Structure 1
Amino acid sequence: MNSITTNIAGGARAPSPLPPLVGALGRRLPAWPGSLLCVAALNLVLRPHLPDDVRASLRGKRLRVRVCDAGVGFDFTWREGGFAALRGGAEADLEIGACARDFVALARREQDPDTLFFSRRLSMEGDTELGLLVKNTLDAIDVPLTELGRQALSRLVNLRGFT
């Protein structure tokens, strides 16, 4: 397995938008409920846009999204039909880390992942091929993820009769 690692710490790091108290609290909270919320969002927003070959490549891989300044990490995998939350603790095949503000900027397409990576504000640790697959898949989605999320929530609300 090829491996890529870059450290988020360093002089290029932008100041954290979250107060230190939020990070301290996040480190004390159990990860499992956050992972459940994370996979619910991924299944709502990303699952419909993933090609079959990407789904097959993700199957059984342990992924982790770490929000550094919030002190939280979300573990999940792809199982038949969608993303599924995992309990933390085991080593991830791929861990992606950044501060909350940078993840939001990526989702809105206000920042390029390569720029954040090379400025040491985005880290990827683990399987290089899997990291490139995730990056290229997200790049191939033309609409910002925040817009996809808004559309998905709107459809969900309409289906539930809350209009």
Structure 2
Amino acid sequence: MNPSRPSMTFTLPPVPERVRAVVSRLPVRPPSALLALALNRLWWPLLDESARRGLAGRVVELHVDDLGLSCRLVADRSGLHAARGSQAPSVRLRAAAATYWRLLQGQDDPDTLFFERALVMEGDTEFGLFLKNTLDAVGPIELWRRRADRR
């Protein structure tokens, strides 16, 4: 846990089976488009041009195990978008919702979660490392500060 982290943290409750049953039936595109919209607002403006070029055209799939939810994103010059189903992912990340939430808040280190198998990465290892380093460069605290500054 990061001691400089604002006290806005809370734990996600377990996902009820009824919720999972509904969410797991959702098509991939709507939640992907929603996630792209949020990341374009909060994260994309914080990236430098070389990071944006490195992400361009690469599909990242995020799977939230306990929700049965998948999101597929691809970047271009204008930002992130929902990836078409025909585009194979370069990297696939799998974790529980609470794990992603803790990462967003900066409570957990992605390397630790990876070695504990709470966060699983499959696919292009070199691109996965680039993505991790890009996320680390921005950092969760920067995302929260930017959000707090808008209020």
> Which residue pairs with 1:35 in the alignment?
32
Q: Percent identity?
A: 38
Q: Offset at 1:70?
A: 0.8
Q: Offset at 1:78?
A: 0.6
Q: How many residues align?
A: 139
**Structure 2: tracts of 5 or more residues without a match:** 1-12
Instruction: Give the letter for the 2:69 counterpart.
Output: V
1:66 corresponds, among 44, 59, 63, to 63
CA distance in 1, matches of 2:67, 2:146: 21
Q: Structure with the greater relative contact order (CA < 8 A, sep ≥ 6): 1 or 2? A: 1
1:147 corresponds, among 133, 139, 144, to 144
Instruction: Give the letter for the 1:73 counterpart.
Output: S
**Structure 1: tracts of 5 or more residues without a match:** 1-15, 156-163
CA distance in 2, matches of 1:145, 1:97: 24
User: CA separation of 1:142/1:34 partners in 2, compared to 1, >3 Å: closer, same or farther?
Assistant: closer
> Which residue pairs with 1:3 in the alignment?
none
> Which residue pairs with 1:82 in the alignment?
79
TM-score (norm 2): 0.83
TM-score (norm 1): 0.77
Instruction: Give the letter for the 2:101 counterpart.
Output: V
> Which residue pairs with 1:129 in the alignment?
126
Q: Runs of at least 4 residues of structure 1 off by over 6 A?
A: none
Contact 1:62 1:77 in 2 (8 A): yes
CA RMSD of aligned residues (A): 2.0
> Which residue pairs with 1:99 in the alignment?
96
